[in-house]
Amino acid sequence: MPKIVILDGHPLNPGDLDWGPLAALGELSVLARTAPADVVARAGGADVVLTNKVRLGREEIFGLPELRFISVLATGTDIVDLRAATERRVVVSNVPGYSTASVAQLTFALLLELTHQVGRHSEDVRRGGWARSLDFSYTLAPLRELEGLTLGVVGYGAIGRSVAEIGTAFGMRVIANTRSPRAGAAHPHVPLDELFQKSDVVTLHCPLTPQTEGMVSEERLASMKADAFLLNTARGPLIDERALETALREGCIAGAALDVLAVEPPEGTHPLAGAPNCVITPHVAWASVAARKRLIRMTVGNVRAFLAGAPVNVCLPP
């Protein structure tokens, strides 16, 4: 019976979902969290290792001689050294598409918070602001309408396309940038610099790679419209966070909403937490109950397929 170890099961399943279908496939050990220094010891003897955010680098992969299969409990695979896994003949699979609807939904929750500041207005009402008002209606900041604005989607995979469709439903004009433009795509492809310059809203949905790290640079932020918004529900290191803080404080852009940061959790108080018009949520776009159920179901499928000798959703080094 194969030994299966989950290195960081708590974020995916804090107790409201069932590990039973996975336990039926082997000897299952579920660890709530695993520190980097403990990976080899805790996964020792495992044939199959599942990880969400615990890194499996070259040292860990070569330090686990029984390891045959890694199933990433996510879509992005930047936490696994795919080249080392290939050298060791360890198969790596991911879970594509499980969170598309949830991430697209949170993307617009963040955007609507920037345009209508629902939380700020609700809190002001709780503090008695409406009761003290001389008028039946008041606003704490200008409210923005989405219809007619240009939405720039960076990364035109499943999530990017879903966000583009929702933007279209709001009456937005959508432009996109992707590594592999496709003929006949529903929305026009434009160069990245042009997208930043023309968009009223820029939303990031691309993977983290050496080429995309820091892509939202000081120069690109400076090229954006002064009343533009920036959204990130992809990966934190896509953005130069110091440059973004400066851009927000100096009014180079109107606001930002982020579900991801370069270091998670942040070390102490993050500089962006005090920046004006900056909304930050704790990496929750993926975490709806429906998405987490799909993630477990698809992971069970990954493990079952590997054990049957026909792995699916296999990830190869770039």
CA distances from 229 to 53, 221, 234, 284 (A): 28, 10, 16, 20
Separation of alpha carbons 224 and 35, rounded Å: 40
User: Are the beta carbons of 86 and 42 closer than 8 angstroms?
Assistant: no
pLDDT attached to residue 181: 81
Query: For residues 92 and 272, what is the distance between their CA atoms, to the nearest angstrom?
Result: 35
> For residue 40, what pLDDT is reported?
97
pLDDT at 197: 98
Q: Is 161 known to be catalytic?
A: no
Taking only the tens of pLDDT, the chain with its 318 residues reads 999 999 999 999 999 999 999 999 999 999 999 999 999 999 999 999 999 999 999 999 999 999 999 999 999 898 999 999 999 999 999 999 999 999 999 999 999 999 999 999 999 999 999 999 999 999 999 999 999 999 999 999 999 999 999 999 999 999 999 988 877 788 999 999 999 999 999 999 999 889 999 999 999 999 999 999 999 999 999 999 999 999 999 999 999 999 999 999 998 888 898 899 999 999 999 999 999 999 999 999 999 999 999 999 999 987
Rounded to 10 degrees, the C-alpha dihedral 166/172/175/177 comes to -40
* 161, 205, 235, 270: the active-site residue: 235
Domains belonging to the chain, first-starting first, are 3-97+289-307 (3.40.50.720), 100-280 (3.40.50.720)
- Residue from 123, 194, 250, 264 carrying the catalytic annotation: 264
Residues 214 and 259: their CA atoms lie apart, in Å, by 16
Active site residue 145: no
Catalytic residue among 161, 270, 283, 292: 283
Cis previous bond, 266, omega within 30: no
Does the annotation mark 264 as catalytic?
Answer: yes
